[in-house]
């Protein structure tokens, strides 16, 4: 029996093994993905994003209770783009969350950059597909919502929840970082702290022009993740967003967007991997670098020539 057949028959040991293969990104991982890909596309992928320490893990931990209470199977991928190795705080999160929900309806996996370069979003997409094929109804992705990785990872989700907390410059940071644009639901966490209502009002104002451009409203909710307050309401809102997407036909649009981002992230990663891994093995690159260094050619024209050559399959 192949690993994927074992996954489909409910063998719990097959899941972490396939994920490891896919994370590694080699041929065996690709073969597994090809085999399981037709089984995917059903899960509700939810991104939970926000600045470091906003309470993402605590909120997810509390959400697991609401989701299991609704009888759904849920998987969590905690992605830490800043961490070079899996471990530390991320691993701590995993242990905390696993202790509380040690049943087979919950699966938690941490992923770190591990020197992957730009490949984190592509690797995360692969893991999402494995969990989807394994029949998890909901897949939560925790990520710090900053940088290219953060945005790319968020775009894998059907629903993006953006967390903000009082005392970090009152929403201005999020607005500047472009985080509000990617949010379907905004959450003011640590609502037990001073300034939470002011922050909520600022966010409501800020999303008004955004909400006018998309269908429906962008809700702003208050939670105290540490005590569970407001968390059931957040789960209701996540479910409502899923229903809205399906009823309005935007679910298929989201799938298209996710596929588009996965393809583009993959192309970027593959080009970087092939070219940057050993630039000296590619004579055209070596020649271009020398031409730019000796002032015979600008980088811009060298790059254009290289890309043209590449698309003609000459590299
Ligand atoms: N007062 C208060 N503290 C909270 C709340 N939610 C989380 N915390 C605390 O905030 C700290 C950070 O929480 P985490 O859940 O680790 O935050 P995070 O966003 O996952 O952090 P990173 O993964 O490191 O980016 C912890 O000490 C939590 O106990 C809340 O609603 N109110
Ligand atoms: Mg965390």
In short, whether 91's Cβ falls inside 6 Å of ligand 1 is no
Rounded distance between C-alpha atoms, residue 288 and residue 239, angstroms: 52
Bridge-based pairing state of the strands 159-164 and 185-188: parallel
- Count CA atoms closer than 13 A to 57's CA, side-chain side: 19
Q: Is the pLDDT of residue 96 over 70?
A: no
Rounded distance between C-alpha atoms, residue 140 and residue 74, angstroms: 7
Closest ligand 1 atom, CA of 191? 31
* Helices and strands in the chain, H and E counts: 14, 7
Closest ligand 1 atom, CA of 52? 25
Judge contact between 29 and 23, C-beta under 8 A.
Answer: yes
Nearest ligand for residue 224 CA: 1
Judge contact between 171 and 207, C-beta under 8 A.
Answer: no
Closest ligand 1 atom, CA of 163? 19
Query: Which of the four pLDDT bands, split at 50, 70 and 90, describes residue 90?
Result: very low
In short, whether 56's Cβ falls inside 6 Å of ligand 1 is yes
Mean of per-residue pLDDT scores for the chain:
84
Residue 117 vs residue 37, higher pLDDT: 37
Residue-wise pLDDT tens digits, 33-47: 999 999 999 999 999
In short, whether 190's Cβ falls inside 6 Å of ligand 1 is yes
Question: What is the model's pLDDT at position 169?
Answer: 67
Backbone φ and ψ of 225, nearest 5°: -60, -35
- The CA distances from residue 261 to 75, 148, 256, in Å, are 21, 12, 9
Mutating to test ligand 1, I would choose from 48, 51, 55 the residue with most ligand atoms within 8 A of its C-beta, which is 55
CB atoms within 10 A of CB 227: 12
Query: Which of the four pLDDT bands, split at 50, 70 and 90, describes residue 91?
Result: very low
Rounded distance between C-alpha atoms, residue 192 and residue 50, angstroms: 18
Question: What is the model's pLDDT at position 167?
Answer: 85
Return the percentage of the chain with pLDDT > 70, whole number. 82
Residue-wise pLDDT tens digits, 166-215: 987 655 666 666 778 889 999 999 999 999 999 999 999 888 776 666 65
Domain 40-265: CATH superfamily is: P-loop containing nucleotide triphosphate hydrolases (3.40.50.300)
In short, whether 144's Cβ falls inside 6 Å of ligand 1 is yes
Q: Is the pLDDT of residue 53 over 60?
A: yes
Mean local confidence (pLDDT), 110-124? 70
Residue-wise pLDDT tens digits, 270-301: 777 777 776 666 788 889 999 999 999 999 99
Rounded distance between C-alpha atoms, residue 11 and residue 28, angstroms: 19
Rounded distance between C-alpha atoms, residue 160 and residue 185, angstroms: 7
pTM: 0.86
- Sorted by where each begins, the domain ranges of the chain are 1-38, 40-265, 278-315
Cα–ligand 1 centroid distance for 73 (angstroms): 24
**Which residues lie closer than 8 Å to 10 by C-beta, 6 or more apart?**
none
CA-nearest residue for atom 26, ligand 1, is: 55
Judge contact between 268 and 260, C-beta under 8 A.
Answer: no
- The CA distances from residue 47 to 132, 171, 182, in Å, are 15, 19, 10
In short, whether 55's Cβ falls inside 6 Å of ligand 1 is yes
Q: Is the pLDDT of residue 246 over 60?
A: yes
DSSP 137: S
Rounded distance between C-alpha atoms, residue 233 and residue 151, angstroms: 25
In short, whether 226's Cβ falls inside 6 Å of ligand 1 is yes
> How deeply is 185 buried, as exposed, middle or buried, from its count of CB atoms within 10 A (0-12, 13-18, 19+)?
buried
Q: Is the pLDDT of residue 86 over 50?
A: no
Q: In what order do the strands lie in the sheet with 159-164?
A: 106-112, 74-80, 138-144, 44-50, 159-164, 185-188, 220-222
Rounded distance between C-alpha atoms, residue 163 and residue 191, angstroms: 11
Closest ligand 1 atom, CA of 144? 25
**Residue 190, token pair as written in the block:** 């640590």
In short, whether 54's Cβ falls inside 6 Å of ligand 1 is yes
Rounded distance between C-alpha atoms, residue 240 and residue 53, angstroms: 27
In short, whether 187's Cβ falls inside 6 Å of ligand 1 is no
Q: Is the pLDDT of residue 81 over 70?
A: no
Query: Which of the four pLDDT bands, split at 50, 70 and 90, describes residue 77?
Result: very high
Residue 167 vs residue 138, higher pLDDT: 138
Residue-wise pLDDT tens digits, 8-35: 888 888 999 999 999 887 889 999 999 9
Question: What is the model's pLDDT at position 228?
Answer: 96
E strands present in 173-291: 185-188, 220-222
Q: Is the pLDDT of residue 128 over 60?
A: yes
In short, whether 57's Cβ falls inside 6 Å of ligand 1 is yes
What secondary structure does DSSP assign to 6-45, as a single string?
A: HHHTT-TTHHHHHHHHHHHTSHHHHHHHHHHGGG-S-SEE
């Amino acid at each position: 029996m192949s690993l994927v057949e074992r996954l489909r028959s409910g063998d719990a040991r097959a899941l972490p093994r396939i994920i490891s293969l896919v994370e590694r990104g080699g041929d065996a991982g690709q073969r597994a993905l090809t085999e399981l890909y037709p089984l995917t596309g059903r899960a509700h992928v939810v991104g939970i994003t926000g600045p470091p320490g906003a309470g993402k893990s605590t909120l997810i931990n509390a959400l697991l209770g609401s989701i299991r209470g609704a009888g759904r199977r849920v998987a969590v991928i905690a992605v830490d783009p800043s961490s070079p190795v899996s471990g530390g705080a991320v691993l701590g999160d995993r242990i905390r969350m696993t202790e509380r929900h040690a049943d087979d309806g919950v699966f938690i996996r941490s992923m770190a950059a591990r020197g992957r370069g730009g490949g984190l979003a592509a690797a995360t997409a692969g893991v999402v597909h494995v969990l989807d094929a394994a029949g998890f109804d909901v897949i939560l992705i925790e990520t710090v919502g900053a940088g290219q990785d953060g945005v790319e990872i968020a775009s894998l989700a059907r629903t993006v929840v953006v967390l903000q907390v009082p005392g970090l410059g009152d929403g201005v940071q999020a607005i500047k970082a472009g985080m509000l644009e990617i949010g379907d639901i905004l959450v003011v966490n640590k609502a037990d702290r001073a300034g939470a209502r002011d922050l909520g009002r600022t966010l409501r104002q800020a999303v008004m022009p955004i909400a006018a451009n998309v269908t429906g409203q962008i809700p702003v909710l208050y939670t105290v993740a540490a005590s569970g307050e407001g968390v059931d309401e957040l789960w209701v809102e996540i479910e409502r967003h899923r229903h809205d997407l399906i009823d309005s036909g935007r679910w298929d649009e989201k799938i298209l967007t996710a596929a588009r981002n996965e393809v583009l992230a993959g192309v970027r990663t593959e080009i970087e991997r092939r070219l940057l891994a050993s630039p000296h093995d590619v004579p055209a690159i070596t020649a271009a670098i020398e031409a730019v260094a000796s002032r015979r050619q600008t980088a811009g024209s060298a790059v254009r020539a290289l890309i043209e050559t590449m698309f003609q399959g000459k590299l």
